[in-house]
A = this chain, B = another copy of it.
Amino acid sequence: MEISELGEFGLIDHLTKDLKTVNSSTLRGVGDDCAVLRNKDTDILVTTDLLLEGVHFDLTYVPLKHLGYKSAVVNFSDVYAMNGRPRQITVSLGISSRFTVEHITELFSGIRLACELYGVDLVGGDTTSSRQGLVISITCIGEAPAEKIVTRSGAKDTDLVCVSGDLGSAYMGLQLLEREKVASAGRKDFTPEFGGKEYLVERQLKPEARRDIIEALDAAGIVPTAMMDISDGLSSEMMHICKDSNVGCRIYEDRIPIDYQTAVMAEELGMNLVTAALNGGEDYELLFTVPLHTHETVSKIPGVKVIGHITKPSLGCAMITRDGTEIPLKAQGWNPLKKD
């Protein structure tokens, strides 16, 4: 059977069905942003990402330092998405012969900068040669008090659905970078045209994990009922939460936070803005649900927006458009196992 028939999540389901755990420290395995290991009253969170040149990044326009930074930060984001704090990472690199020590030092300087800014220790890894291109595999270990862990499965009917930041900008940054790459082909004196769209480029090349939101929620005394980071797009992640929590949801098109530059870029490219915000991916914003009674408190947190609410499962997952139409959500998120 072709792997593309199953897709990433289908393949994972297939490979991990009937998977049993035997260690008492294994609290939660496959199926959330991180695995959860319990050690006394502290939970250890583990998450990992594999990034391959030509699939996840294009060194034509991604500076190595940015790549290192982003590779680390996307892992931190998974830990924050469980309401944890990232503490350690391991970094494995597969390096093809076209890379020099200076290149790898540059890549590593980005990883180290991210570690420094987020207070994470680099504790190990593996380094080897690669026949084709750069391979980056990072595993992040985080921790959280056992009672503070937030999974994808705790959303309840009437909960509010919230997101941080704005959506679709990283995707538009990618479109912009790809456009300039095409425009630059074969030209030596080419200067890419990013004027007025620096935010989009930065969102694509140097995303941040929302530690600030996690800390603000904590300070406000709010523990979300469910949470994920948005890496595959709002629509896909919302459906994950609803499936794992056995609930439905309604989100409101006019509540989805979108940056002005994202809107301008979508207009320029003739793309549907809401589609980009729903399915663009790589936002690394937090999607979370909170009890209805926290409405006033959560609304006051800078960078957080209430975009909808959780419903009974029978109502399914849908977006209410500006004209009041109900459209079922679809998980059109980026599928890294799709056919080229």
User: What is the interface of chain A, defined by CB distance below 8 A to chain B?
Assistant: 1-3, 5-6, 8, 11-12, 14-16, 19, 21-23, 25-26, 28-30, 34-35, 37, 39-40, 42, 44, 46-50, 52-56, 87-88, 90, 92-95, 97, 99-102, 104-105, 108, 112, 119-133, 135, 137, 139, 141, 143, 336-340
Contact = CB atoms under 8 A, between A and B. Distances in A.
Copies in the complex: 2
Nearest to A48: B90
6 contacts: A22-B119, A30-B125, A40-B42, A50-B137, A90-B139, A97-B339
Contact of A6 (B44, B101, B141): B101
Contacts of A29: 88, 121-124
Contacts of A99: 3
Contacts of A1: 100-102
A15 to B, nearest CB: 5
Nearest to A47: B124
Contacts of A105: 14-15
B124 A48 contact: yes
A87 B26 contact: yes
A123 B12 CA distance: 12
A87 B3 contact: no
A214 to B, nearest CB: 17
B54 A131 contact: yes
Contacts of A123: 21, 26, 28-30, 35, 37, 46
Contacts of A92: 48-50, 137
Nearest to A335: B129
A179 B21 CA distance: 41
